[in-house]
Chains A and B, each alone.
Chain A
Amino acid sequence: MEEFEQELRQAFERRPAPPSLKRKLMARRAEKRQTQHRQSHIQLWQRLAASLVLAALLGGAATWVRHDREERRKGEAARQQVLTALRITGHALDQMNTQLAAHDRTEQR
């Protein structure tokens, strides 16, 4: 077995890499880096666009929240106005009743 193993070691000598290997490898590496640079550039723009969209959405959400708050404020104001109007109406009717009652008393005399 030892002789075979010796023979095996000889046979297992490393094969030289083809000359094209390094050339192709470096070319691929350069291309990859260029692509990565372009991608990161695109990603930067995508991130920027996403940020703008997010800002718009948040702004929109903030606008909606502000709108909602404003809506509620207006609604509350309108409600108060209705109650005020009805209070005044009630007061006017009270006055009317008082006057009518006074008139009735005068007539009875």
Chain B
Amino acid sequence: MKYRILALVLGTAALAAPALAQNSPLPLPPPVEKQLAARASNVTEVTLGKNMLAFAAKFMNGKDKDEAGVRQLIQGLDGIYVREYTFDKEGQYSMEEIDKLRQYFETSEWSPLIREREKKNSESTDVMVKLVNGESHGMFILTAEPKELTIVLILGPIRMDQLGELKGIGGLGALGGIQKGVKTKTRKGDNE
């Protein structure tokens, strides 16, 4: 009896984990991340909650156009969650693991925007948007290349045009295209 109750409690906790994660602005790292990190030759992990983002905003150089733009962008955000895994060789992760990652972050609030699968090159792209009253309140990007895996989760009100203006910061200009993509581009990958 004791053990059944324990199992029930643990089971409930396991099921509730993503749900619990959804209650706090940023999710807990999914279990699969540990396995990916163990195989990666290089890992970059950034987890910034609302308070930390506000704190960081104070130290942005207001005189620099790009940093001023960044400050404006991040000040209203609830969190930024980024993971970048680089592998020495191909085949260090599977599509199942990619699906697990996507499913972990995907809830009913999220609308898939892009789902691209390139089986031949083992490449995939998932972009999801969290819409609240028709307004974008979150963005999820999961890109997979043979030797690189990237997860980006941005929570909070995001203005895509604001992101697009930050061209000076590593290709964020590409986000300008996403704005158009919200309405017109919905691609299904080869696997679906």
A–B direct contact (CB < 8 Å): yes
A residues apposed to B, CB below 8 Å: 72, 74-76, 78-79, 81-97, 99-100, 102-103
Interface presence of B68 (CB below 8 A)? no
- Contact call A81/B116, Cβ cutoff below 8 A: no
B residues apposed to A, CB below 8 Å: 44, 46, 48, 52-53, 55-56, 58-60, 70, 74, 80, 82, 84, 114, 116, 118, 123-125, 127, 141, 143, 145, 150, 152, 154, 166, 169-175, 177-178, 185, 187
- Contact call A96/B170, Cβ cutoff below 8 A: no
Shortest beta-carbon distance, B105 to chain A, in Å?
Answer: 14
Within the complex, which residue of B60, B74, B125, B169 is in contact with A95, where a contact is CB–CB below 8 Å? B125
Specify which chain B residues have a CB less than 8 angstroms from the CB of A100 in the assembled complex: 114, 116, 125, 185, 187
Specify which chain B residues have a CB less than 8 angstroms from the CB of A87 in the assembled complex: 169-170
Given contacts A78-B53, A96-B116, A103-B187, 7 further A-B contacts (CB under 8 A): A78-B48, A82-B48, A82-B60, A88-B46, A88-B152, A95-B123, A96-B114
- Contact call B125/A91, Cβ cutoff below 8 A: no
Taking A86-B170, A92-B141, A95-B150 as contacts, is the C-beta distance between A75 and B55 under 8 angstroms? yes
Q: Considering the chains assembled together, what is the distance between the CA atoms of A54 and B116 in angstroms? A: 67
> Which B-chain residue is minimally distant from A107 (CB atoms)?
B187
Shortest beta-carbon distance, A103 to chain B, in Å?
Answer: 6
> Which B-chain residue is minimally distant from A72 (CB atoms)?
B59
